Amino acid sequence: MSLPSVDTLRTRVRQWMPILTAYSQRHWKWLTLLIWIVIAVAMVTTRWPAIHWLVLSDTDDNIRYVQVKDWLAGQGWYDLRQYRLDPPGGANIHWSRLVDLPIAGLILFFRAFVDQGLADRLACGIAPLLPLLLLMLSLGFIGRRLAGPNGWLLAILAPLATQMALGMYAPMRIDHHGWQLALALTMLAGVIDENRLRGGLMAGISSALSIAIGMEMIVYLAAGGALIALRWVFRPGAERRLLPYGLSLAGATSLLYLLFASYANRAMVCDAISPIWVAVFGAAGAGMVILSLAPLRAWPARLAAGAVVGGAVALFFYLNWPQCLTPYQISPELERLWLANIREAKPITVQAQSLVVPLLAVPVAGLIGLLWAVWDSRRDTERLWAWATVGLMMVFSTALLFWQLRAGPAAQLLAIPPAAWAAHRLVAAILTGPRRVKIAAGTGVALLAAIAFAYPLYPQVVALYQGATGTKPRPWRPSAIARTDNIKKANGRCRTLPALEVLDQLPPATIFTMVDLGPRLIATTHHSALAGPYHRNGATILDIHHAFDGPADGFRAIAAQHHAAYLLVCPWFPEGTIYQSRSPRGFYAGLMRGDVPRWLVPVKLETAMTLPYQLYRIDYSAPGGEKVAQQR
């Protein structure tokens, strides 16, 4: 049987293309679901070792896991204290149960078929992929709005090129940031939706859900609300979006406060959904309702009225809760000793070049695409407004990188719509344009493809450049190289499940350890720790810093205040190197040199593996002050 000719294939493609295009335009949501299933299966498969070994590497993931387990074991719905951090009083955790629900549901589902341990692992592996579906649907919606019916496909696939953002949806990343990022894109989809009623409800409800999860995205949500109000000023008819947005924002925030605010969050706190934010968003929503119903026809009158209402809400907020204008309500000492050493809390200007260049690749592509899109839609006011909205949100999120690195995932995701639009236009030019246009478009597609693979390509490009030019990176001291390697190894090995499970040979006790190791310790053993990196527990965090920075004879008194029975230290653990550098004469630095007080009794655990940490029993009855050098 002979193969069909090229002309025959082209004819068949021309015949089937309209049918496939019409089908994809009509069923894009179901197709997005199928693509998400493929991506989810691939991510679970490639990350299966991490799922098998319960690799919850981030401190928040570990605490979230413990919170869900404690709730399923009987802890109250509104009681979010973590009683295994600094027992018996426990640590005040400022989260809500909203993100716990899908994790707990998956755990209960899988426990009907497999043992409890595997059920927990499967739930932690699959739960982060649920907000990825919401993210893809939101991006697909935005892509269709801005690039036409066929603009959804590249938009939903683009997150695969954003490694920092995609990491928020990787299996075992059960923290709440993935949900918040997805809801921010859902809010943006509502802001630019042509159906104003639906868009207002979408923006208001998604904003309220994000607030119920946490306050990390509040600046993005406020920016979205401001753009809705600004559109009302300059565009007649935009009150049909402003009204449902104000009603849904105020109403949903109040309802979610009643459903999810913990006992601790019923106080006047700034860092979680609380009476403060119910009042603020209630006032803002009421103001928007009044504005949308006011018979104001001229834009100067609407601008003046909006300024009065917005100023009144801002003044109400400032006069009652001025402390909420700062992101963290912590002491200067805690900020200096603890917060200043957190990498994601530092601006992008102090980060390594190997991180900055791949991170900014998608935002740069988005900026180029934005300029092109604005020029292309200059005669279409509705599309121009939509692009201006997306562009302002993208530029705003990118600018926040110069404040804190933690804005990176949002900057990447908000840059996807213009970058995907540009890719869509280039692909269309290749398929339909003349020869010269096809060549230019092909070059643009190749450039965008390089940007999409910036994370794996960048190290290779640097290596090729250095080999071609003979340049070499700035040499490091051998000791610095060894130090970096030791830190990387310790950061991984000290968190592993096999290493920490050995501690369960001991009866349950409170173990004094580093702040960043505490959440992992309570997630993998039956022991308690003192603290995790959570600002509401600043006093205990400071106690740990004082204990490790201070003299040896001061450590035991601080440990006694927190009823610690053991001390666990991990040589070369990143947090420990801060104590060594900051306080070379302190207790921790001396311990790493082998100067062990006599009241620290080494504990031997039965295991065939070489443990990456050192464990001591704190003997409160022994005399203090004497030290004995031990070989390490």
C-alpha–C-alpha distance, residues 390 and 155, integer Å = 14
Mean pLDDT of the region 151-179: 94
Mean pLDDT of the region 320-348: 88
CA 394-405-323 angle, 5° bins:
90
Tell me the pTM: 0.92
- Contact assessment for residue 611 and residue 493, using Cβ atoms and an 8 Å cutoff: no
Question: φ, ψ for residue 126 (rounded to 5)?
Answer: -95, -35
The model's pLDDT over 194-209, given as tens digits with 9 standing for 90+, comes to 999 999 999 999 999 9
The model's pLDDT over 97-122, given as tens digits with 9 standing for 90+, comes to 999 999 999 999 999 999 999 999 99
Q: How confident is the model at residue 454 (pLDDT cuts 50, 70, 90)?
A: confident
Q: What is the pLDDT of residue 2?
A: 57
Q: How confident is the model at residue 586 (pLDDT cuts 50, 70, 90)?
A: very high
Q: What is the pLDDT of residue 181?
A: 97
Mean pLDDT of the region 67-71: 97
Tell me the residue type at 165: A
pLDDT at 261 over 70: yes
Mean pLDDT of the region 118-132: 97
- Contact assessment for residue 205 and residue 248, using Cβ atoms and an 8 Å cutoff: yes
Question: φ, ψ for residue 617 (rounded to 5)?
Answer: -90, 135
pLDDT at 466 over 90: no
Residues 577-613: b if buried by 16+ CB within 10 A, e if exposed:
bbbbeebeebbbbbbbeeebbebbeeeeeeeeeebbb
Q: What is the pLDDT of residue 5?
A: 61
The model's pLDDT over 603-612, given as tens digits with 9 standing for 90+, comes to 999 999 999 9
Percent of the chain with pLDDT over 70: 93
C-alpha–C-alpha distance, residues 209 and 49, integer Å = 33
Q: How confident is the model at residue 556 (pLDDT cuts 50, 70, 90)?
A: very high
CA distances from 626 to 298, 478, 596, 620 (A): 82, 35, 9, 13
